[in-house]
A and B are shown apart, each in its own frame.
Chain A
Amino acid sequence: MTKRSMQEPTFLILTALAAGPQHGYGIITDAADISGGATRLQAGTLYMALDRLRSAGLVEPDREEVADGRLRRYYRLTDDGATQLAAETERRRASAAVAAKRLSMRLAGGSA
């Protein structure tokens, strides 16, 4: 589980919660911002991921508020969630570094 790379929605949700708790709609808009508009989470996808992440202990409910007569539940990242996000961030950083290096080799004339 820990060795497998994280799916994009999971990565975006954990990243959206990294700096502080957010409610469902906040996570959706934040995930769109983080991905540069590339990923727009559907509500069903978000709540399926939250259900799984919650049972895995990576996120947990923070607090509830009522706004405009509607319930808003905030979620926060757990310590385990932060650890997994840090590991995934490092993995992605390493992959990106390799990609950047290979591309620079290509521009330099493809030296072996």
Chain B
Amino acid sequence: MSGDAEPEDGYLADGATGTLERRYRRLLRWYPPSHRAMHDEEMLGVLLLAARPGQRSPDVALAANLIATGLAIRARRAVSWLTDAQDALAAVSLIAPVLMFGYAALALGKQTGSISTRSWSPLIIPVLAGPAAATIGWLAVVVLGPAGGGRRRGSHSSCWRWHCRVC
């Protein structure tokens, strides 16, 4: 409790301030890693500047505020990641049917003899690579698509319904 009553001494990481700093650092773990990498030291500076001389533990209200806001930022990051992922899945779900259709048309053309493999050879590789990528992307849409509840825009949910009808 004694020793570092002067604010200047407050920056030495020993005694009361060392204890307070350790407790603040523990509370900052509630923030997401991406935020911590950028702001941990900065926030610690603010927290210690605002501390009372000789203070050893965070106020309950401040601790609750740090936990709540840390979780809120985590939630915000998670939501933005999910919506980004949904956008990517929506794009795949639009492209996949085109690639699959192209592959089917080519296969049909070869079987019926209307398309010779040799004349189409430059197109074979991308078209054959298509179904694998398309199938993986399409499966991702099927598995992950409903997770977001189709909350955003029309494109994704309509793609989702379209795929359901197709399969």
Contacts and interface: CB of A to CB of B under 8 A. Distances in A.
Nearest to B45: A70
Interface in B25-50: 35, 39, 41-50
Contacts of B45: 24-25, 67, 70-72
A43 B47 contact: yes
Contact of B49 (A25, A42, A48, A73): A25
Contacts of A28: 46, 50
- Size bin of chain B's contact surface: 20 to 34
Contacts of A51: 35, 73, 76
A29 B49 CA distance: 11
B39 A44 contact: no
Which of A23, A42, A44 counts the most chain B CB atoms within 10 A? Answer: A44
A45 interface: yes
B66 interface: yes
A28 B62 CA distance: 14
Size category of the A interface is 20 to 34
B42 A71 contact: yes
A45 B73 contact: no
A63 interface: no
B116 interface: no
B130 interface: no
B42 A68 contact: no
B11 A43 contact: no
B47 to A, nearest CB: 5
Interface of B: 8, 11, 35, 39, 41-50, 61-62, 65-70, 72-73, 76
Given A24-B46, A70-B48, 12 more contacts: A24-B43, A42-B61, A43-B47, A43-B50, A44-B66, A46-B46, A47-B35, A47-B43, A47-B69, A71-B41, A71-B42, A72-B45
Interface of A: 23-25, 28, 42-48, 51-52, 67-73
